[in-house]
Structure 1
């Protein structure tokens, strides 16, 4: 960060390097006071300050029209007002529009509930993250620095990059809807300038055959007898947890070896081919609990309804198997990994998993070290 005493003489002598779009030079005396130099030659006095814990970045005036002393006087006034909770540059209340909390709770959530199966995930993100940090701010005055501070707060609390990115995606979609519905003007969307965080450190977990055997050994000892069939079916189909837990006998055509999933994450019907192993799981359940004993295939024997959660029995088994990091969703990763390592194409994996975008499928395209070794060994010897 470049710091000098901002005077008319010093500012007049400053220029932006040719290899930069702009240059910020801060005042050596007043914190947050700086001149922003553009490659075009334009110079503006600006100020970063906080009012009611909110970061504000405002333009004070053109440095070729306003003197450094005039800008400095205005800075002192703005900072003095901010200390008593008054934001000099806040727009009139009449044009502020809804706060972020009002929009997301009163307009966004009712809308996504009408079509989105995973709306409760959005509700949790809004309640846990967006409202506590940004909820009281009016959407029309939220700027990219406010979003940056929000994300830095999440990172400081050790939330994963994926969680931070989901918050950004939710904010971005909310602003798109607000503009589309006329709640905000297009120039009030700070998310146009915000990109998702780079998540290069993300780790995908895939079960080896040995780990799968160890996990199943412990799961078979679980007090929840149905857990073994649930886990096996997840491994044999690559389906999502709720798709399996909520599956009904009427969804299966055993003669055609097909499973029709009527409610998928994308909202579209999906047909999953069933392997001999997957069919074997269904036959085992029939033999144990009777033919069509319940409407739901993997029903809780006490209620006949799908399990609300299998976490505690799953958590006990995975820890005993030495796989405490493993999530149920990693069984889906493993299924895809098994297919790819068996030589199946990403297109085939995409169809079976029901991905709309091949880029999503590529996340699961883990190749074992043995298969990669086989690939490099296939290059012929050059003499």
Structure 2
């Protein structure tokens, strides 16, 4: 039973401590009883080990390794240690604590650490929750948020002019947050206030594809931008059809220079994805300076870390280009539209975009009906038309 400092640094480097098989328990060197059980599968569980008043050895489950921040775990363990010293049962103390946990406390201490590790759209998720849900529900205890509050949120946000799609995403965030609280035994089963609530109707799927002329205007505007990284990232999105975070989080070790492939270890689908890099994309990659000790291909020049948001710079660029309705994700759609109009099959488009289902790719089928008609006529040509 190794004794170590169970710190954020230890957890960041947790892969180095995994056993070859089975499980191993690590105990904290300063908080007696705090224990992390690591399994060969890469999963882990936090416990507080203690002896009750009858001297029986007990294990109190605190949380999963990927669900709760280390600092929160240490704070809970200290509280349980203090309760034990005062003659109280740590189990009853933690149960009491969970009943009064506020929405903002749960989100900051439990939910955000989980999403940061497991959700590739973490920056936008955090932004939406922080901007729209925290001001409304932050100070309320979790068990004091009711279905009527969620309905009121839907009605008021829509009345304030928020798009239907955004209103529905807020509902999804709330449902997911409460499901997590239930799954992690902070709330009882069946207590999700979003249960039975349906998304608002009227959401329109937005499809915006750039023309060649619009792309040229966009490139001209990008060259005027004071953010060189924005110009680089936008071009990479158009040249690859990648998702924004797939480019922003790219690491040098993920690029195969011989095969011209960018590997995304964990794509939105949950699977490893391999993105072919065209010569134009490779030229951009090869032009990026390598900073000693920095693994990121397109880091923020000031912080050296992956760029969090490009919205401010992008908003200026699209206005200069006369394209106020174009968002960065539309560059991915435009990549697909150029492929279809160049005569490439929907199967090829599906593979290049990394769609797991052809259903997602079918939205592009209408872009070049003349191309599809030529493909259909080629069959008759190959077979020979009757004379």
TM-score by length of 1: 0.60
Q: Which runs of 5+ in 2 are unaligned?
A: 1-95, 381-387
Residue of structure 1 in register with 2:319 after alignment: 319
Change (3 A) 1:269 1:194: same
More displaced 10-residue stretch of structure 1: 208-217 or 100-109: 100-109
TM-score by length of 2: 0.60
Residue of structure 1 in register with 2:131 after alignment: 128
Any idea what the Cα deviations from partners look like across 1:218-242, whole Å, max 9, x if unmatched? 3234444554443222101011233
How is 1:214-363 mapped onto 2 (pairs within 5 angstroms)?
Answer: 214-225=217-228, 227-262=230-265, 264-265=267-268, 268-282=271-285, 285=287, 296-298=296-298, 307=307, 309-356=309-356, 358-362=358-362
| Larger-Rg structure | 1
| Alignment coverage as a number of residue pairs | 282
Contact 2:164 2:203 in 1 (8 A): no
**What SS does the corresponding residue of 2:326 show, helix, strand or coil?**
coil
Residue of structure 2 in register with 1:178 after alignment: 181
- 1:372 maps to 2:374: no
More displaced 10-residue stretch of structure 1: 152-161 or 180-189: 180-189
Change (3 A) 1:309 1:169: closer
Distance 2:141 2:299 in 1: 46
Residue 312 of structure 1 deviates from its aligned partner by 4.8
Contact 1:340 1:367 in 2 (8 A): no
Any idea what the Cα deviations from partners look like across 1:306-357, whole Å, max 9, x if unmatched? 5555445433332222112222221112112223334444444343333445
Change (3 A) 1:300 1:157: same
Change (3 A) 1:125 1:217: closer
- 1:115 maps to 2:118: yes
Alignment RMSD, CA only? 3.9
Residue 135 of structure 1 deviates from its aligned partner by 3.7
Distance 2:298 2:146 in 1: 48
Change (3 A) 1:323 1:366: farther
Residue of structure 2 in register with 1:188 after alignment: 191
Change (3 A) 1:108 1:299: closer
Distance 1:203 1:322 in 2: 19
